[in-house]
Amino acid sequence: MMRTGVTTLINAEPSLMVCCQAGRAEEALSEIPKCSPDLVITDMTMPGRGGLEFIKDVAALYPSLPVLVISMHDEMLHAERALRAGARGYLMKEAGGEKMLVAIRQVLSGQVYVSERMSARILDNLSGRKPRGSTSPIEKLSDREFEVFELIGQGLTTKAIAKQLNLSSKTVDVHREHIKEKLQLSDATSLIRHAVRWVETQKAGES
């Protein structure tokens, strides 16, 4: 439904056209050489490989192909990760269609697009100042640990997480231990409870 809405909005613009679509990261990577797009629009959440891994794959395979992330996830936790992975822009879905078209054109012109709030935060980081509200322990997690943490919060087992991220169960267990250490959680039950609560908080913020 989201892809249909975005496609309709883009195709209504005389200078823009959606040349192909994909529902999974693997499918998208196989479609890119066939369609030769000037821009890839993706979400952070998708079946199979996570959004961050997909962005990294596109950056590695097609270095000159810009990626714009349009996601429901809070930019304060996800935008910097997306930009570090290789994205050229990040827009929250709630920003609306007009902002999306601005973001598309800005990224196509070779610039980076983030909201004013996110831009101020990035500048604060570059200047060495600690921006207000940036003390969340979640930010200590690596990109892969962050993905595992989200999937734990969605109720997935170690085996299911391993399958979705194309990892071994042993590797997922290692990530779980690192997450517990960084978040100062005593056991697996505390980790699951914390992850579920965090995911629910994210969903509540999206509604």
The one-letter code for the residue type at 45 is T
d(CA 119, CA 84): 14
Q: What are the CA-CA distances from residue 161 to residues 18, 48, 80, 115, 141 (Å)?
A: 32, 10, 23, 32, 17
Q: Is the pLDDT of residue 19 over 80?
A: yes
Q: Is the pLDDT of residue 127 over 70?
A: no
Fold type of domain 2-126: Rossmann fold (3.40.50)
> Confidence band (pLDDT; 50, 70, 90) for 30?
very high
| pLDDT > 90 in the chain, percent | 50
Give mean pLDDT, residues 92-111: 93
Q: Is the pLDDT of residue 123 over 80?
A: no
Give mean pLDDT, residues 126-151: 74
**pLDDT averaged over every residue in the chain:** 86
Q: Which of 16, 61, 60, 57 has the alpha carbon at shortest distance from 38?
A: 16
Domain boundaries for CATH 3.40.50.2300 within the chain:
2-126
Domain boundaries for CATH 1.10.10.10 within the chain:
137-206
Class of domain 137-206: mainly alpha
> Confidence band (pLDDT; 50, 70, 90) for 35?
very high
| Residue tagged 């823009």 (tokens) | 16
Percentages (nearest 5) of helix, strand, coil residues in the chain: 60, 5, 35
156-204 pLDDT, tens per residue?
A: 999 999 988 888 999 999 999 999 999 999 999 999 999 998 888 766 6
Q: Is the pLDDT of residue 4 over 80?
A: yes
